[in-house]
Every structure is written in structure tokens, then in C-alpha cells.
């Protein structure tokens, strides 16, 4: 049995690697089929005014309704979609679907129309056609540009190419707003605020998680909110799960928030019910 360590290790690892490789090939083939067969769905998570409790918008979050695996979460296929470039058609579908859906909701709603936040991948920003696609999604849905928010992650801004800034400036010129997602988790968050034409900061869930129990997290969170105010940016706190977190954020004058405390990402039908309680669609 002593010999098992040396040469035999290959026999242990090889089938594993083989299996992992096989699985990734299968996933890629599945994903290609999913694009053609439209196996994606959107969930909509309410974004709430922390003072009034009103829903001011929703974040569109993709799900893959896989025919045999069931619902696949974005973190299990977005990286592959990015590597293979499939995120480009998938992302365009997300944008068009989200804009159409929210334009339709706003047409039925009285009062202030809600916003829709759509996550963008770095790969999409490498496409010179992206501003045109955004423009087209707005025009064909009828959604006013100021009701669309595009969310960018800090990693996207870290590794940005020179063209990224040009692209973002073109998109901003349409009247669309830009948010930095997961703010505070990157290496030099503050630098992006100078360099990129951002309108909204989304405070990462990791700060919100500890805002009640950890004085440092609370101080940082409240500091980010004040920074946002000084720069005339809106702040959205992510991942609010408890009333205590809400209280701390509201005390710090955080404008907006989202999280399971208010609602999980909801199906279209569930959001219909939430928005039009007396008038089921």
C-alpha cells in the first residue's frame, strides 16, 4: 500500500480531471443549446426606499431553467458564458427582456415608474455595438432611458480597456445611469469614482452582513453612504436580511436597499402580484 502515493496518484487524479473536463464540455454544449432554445428566465428583486418602504425599482437576475438539472444559478454558468462569448447574446436578451417587462409594468402602474437594474459583464463592454444595443432595447420597449440602470462590477473596472471608458460615456449619453456593484470589495474603489461616470454605489453585502455586530463594518458602511452623498450619488445596500441591518442603514441615511428581508428575486408572476395586488395579471 506504501506505493500508492507515488505513481498511483495519477490514477487517482486523472479520472477526476477527465470527469471535470467532460462536465465542462457538456455544460458548454448545454449552454449553446440553451441560447438557441431560450432556456433563460429573469427574476426581479425589489429595490426599496429604506425610509418609505416603497419599491423604487427591481434588479433583473438571470436563471437558467435547465431541462434536466433544474434551475442553474448565474455563478454556475456566467463565467463559462463569458469565456465562450455566449454572454453577448445572453446579455442582450437579458437587457431587452428586462426593459420590455418593466416598461409594461410601468404602463399599468400609477405613480412614479420603477427602474430596472441590469448586470453587465466586461465582455459585453468590449463590444463596440453595446451602446447601440442599449439604445435599441430602450426604443423597442419604450422604457425611458432614466429608468434603466446598468450595473458594473469593480473587477470590470479594474481590468478595463481604454475603450471601456468611451463605451460607458456613450451609454451615459443616452441618459442611462451606471451603478458600481459590490462596492468596496475591489482594490481601489475610490479611484473608479473619479475615472468613471458613475451615478449609484451598491454597497456590497459583506458590509451589510456585519453592520450590526462589527463596529468597523458599520463605520465603513456609514462612511460609504456619506461619500456617496458628498459626490451626489445614490447608495443601494445589498443583501439586507434582518431588521437590525435595515435600522442601521436607515440611521446612516442610506437611500435604497434590497435583500431577502424585503423580497427574494421574484418570478415575473410573483412581481406582478406584488405590484398589482388587487388586480392579478
Considering the complex, what minimum distance in angstroms separates the CB of residue 82 from Mg ion? 15
Asked if residue 78 binds ligand C2E (CB under 6 A), the reply is yes
From ligand C2E, Mg ion, none, which one binds at residue 91 (CB under 5 to 8 Å depending on kind)? ligand C2E
Task: Give the burial string for 204-219 (b: 16+ CB within 10 Å, else e).
Answer: bbebbbbbbeeeebbe
The footprint of ligand C2E on residues 143-172 (CB under 6 A) is 151
Write down the H helix ranges in 75-128.
Answer: 78-84, 87-108, 122-125
SS3 65: strand
Asked if residue 75 binds ligand C2E (CB under 6 A), the reply is yes
Asked if residue 181 binds Mg ion (CB under 5 A), the reply is yes
Asked if residue 84 binds ligand C2E (CB under 6 A), the reply is no
Asked if residue 119 binds Mg ion (CB under 5 A), the reply is yes
Asked if residue 154 binds Mg ion (CB under 5 A), the reply is no
Distances (CA, A) of 40 to 58, 66, 72, 78, 120: 18, 8, 10, 12, 16
From Mg ion, ligand C2E, none, which one binds at residue 62 (CB under 5 to 8 Å depending on kind)? ligand C2E
Answer for the pair 243, 211: CB distance below 8 angstroms, yes or no.
no
CA atoms of 99 and 86, how far apart (whole Å): 20
Quick one: 234 exposed, middle or buried, by C-beta within 10 A (0-12, 13-18, 19+)? middle
Considering the complex, what minimum distance in angstroms separates the CB of residue 103 from Mg ion? 20
Rule CB under 6 A: choose which of 55, 58, 62, 249 binds ligand C2E. Answer: 62
Residues near ligand C2E (CB under 6 A):
45, 61-62, 73-75, 78, 91, 94, 119, 121, 151, 181-182, 239-241, 258-260, 265
Amino acid at each position: 500500500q506504501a506505493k500508492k502515493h507515488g505513481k498511483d496518484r495519477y490514477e487517482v487524479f486523472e479520472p477526476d480531471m477527465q470527469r471535470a473536463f467532460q462536465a465542462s464540455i457538456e455544460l458548454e454544449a448545454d449552454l449553446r443549446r440553451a441560447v438557441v432554445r431560450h432556456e433563460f428566465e429573469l427574476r426581479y428583486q425589489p429595490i426599496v426606499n429604506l425610509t418609505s418602504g416603497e419599491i423604487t425599482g427591481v434588479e433583473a437576475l438571470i436563471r437558467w431553467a435547465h431541462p434536466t438539472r433544474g434551475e442553474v444559478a448565474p455563478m454556475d454558468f456566467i463565467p463559462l458564458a463569458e469565456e465562450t462569448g455566449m454572454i453577448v447574446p445572453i446579455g442582450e436578451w437579458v437587457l431587452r427582456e428586462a426593459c420590455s417587462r418593466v416598461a409594461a409594468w410601468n404602463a399599468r402602474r400609477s405613480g412614479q415608474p420603477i427602474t430596472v437594474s441590469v448586470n453587465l459583464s466586461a465582455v459585453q463592454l468590449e463590444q463596440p455595438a453595446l451602446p447601440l444595443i442599449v439604445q435599441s432595447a430602450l426604443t423597442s420597449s419604450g422604457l425611458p432611458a432614466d429608468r434603466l440602470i446598468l450595473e458594473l462590477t469593480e473587477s470590470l473596472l479594474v481590468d478595463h480597456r481604454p475603450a471601456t471608458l468611451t463605451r460607458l460615456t456613450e451609454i451615459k449619453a443616452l441618459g442611462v445611469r451606471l451603478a458600481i456593484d459590490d462596492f468596496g470589495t475591489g482594490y481601489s474603489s475610490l479611484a473608479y469614482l473619479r475615472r468613471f461616470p458613475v451615478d449609484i454605489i451598491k454597497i456590497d453585502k459583506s458590509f451589510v452582513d456585519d453592520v450590526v455586530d462589527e463596529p468597523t463594518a458599520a463605520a465603513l458602511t456609514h462612511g460609504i453612504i456619506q461619500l456617496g452623498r458628498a459626490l451626489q450619488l445614490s447608495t443601494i445596500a445589498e443583501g439586507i436580511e434582518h431588521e437590525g441591518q435595515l435600522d442601521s442603514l436607515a440611521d446612516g441615511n442610506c437611500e435604497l436597499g434590497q435583500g431577502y428581508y424585503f423580497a427574494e428575486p421574484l418570478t415575473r408572476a410573483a412581481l406582478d402580484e406584488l405590484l398589482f395586488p388587487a388586480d392579478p395579471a
